[in-house]
Amino acid sequence: MAISNAALEKLIREIESQAAAAEQQISLSRAQVTSKQREIRLLKLTLEELSGVSQKTPTYEGVGKMFVSVPPPKLCEKLRSQVKTLEGDVESLGKRLVYLETTRKNSREHIDKMLKQAPVKGLGAN
């Protein structure tokens, strides 16, 4: 069962576009992971600073352009909740990165395999 050059070329271009899309998604996911990790570090630093504050110290939370008084225990609980949410996001992005990197790797391997089996005129190796 031989595949025509036109069909093979079309298939290779389709796989190349999938690999390129995966590469873009990998870059985006890595940037999101970095951003979320930065937020986690900032929240943990804030929690660390709040741990040294007495329960009666007035603390404030930014809401839009104003600040609202919030008791330290409530503020700490909210920050812990945000850390947990962000850590879950980082974990899911890590899984997505593994999937995307596998997709990119498999796409490249399929292209190489097809080019080795039946070289197509006019297509350069990428």
Residue type, 86: L
The Cα 72–Cα 78 span in angstroms is 10
Domain extent for 68? 5-117
Evaluate whether residue 59 is within a structural domain.
yes
Quick check: is 10 in a domain? yes
Whether residue 15 is contained in a domain is answered as yes
* pLDDT tens across the length of the chain (126 residues): 466 778 778 888 888 888 888 899 999 999 999 999 999 999 999 999 998 888 889 999 989 999 999 999 999 999 999 999 999 999 999 999 999 999 888 888 888 887 787 654 555 544
56 within a domain of the structure (yes/no): yes
Residue 96 has a pLDDT of 94
Q: DSSP per residue over 38-81, as a string?
A: HHHHHHHHHHHHHHTS-TTS-EEEEETTEEEEE-HHHHHHHHHH
Would residue 124 count as lying in a domain? Answer: no
Q: How far is CA 84 from CA 3, 11, 55, 77, in A?
A: 52, 43, 23, 11
Specify the pLDDT at position 48: 94
The answer to whether residue 125 sits within a structural domain is no
Separation of alpha carbons 116 and 110, rounded Å: 10
SS3 state at 119:
coil
- Residue 64 inside a domain? The answer is yes
Instruction: Look up the pTM and report it.
Output: 0.75
Domain count, the chain: 1
CATH assignment of the domain containing 30: 1.10.287.370
Q: Is residue 122 in some structural domain?
A: no
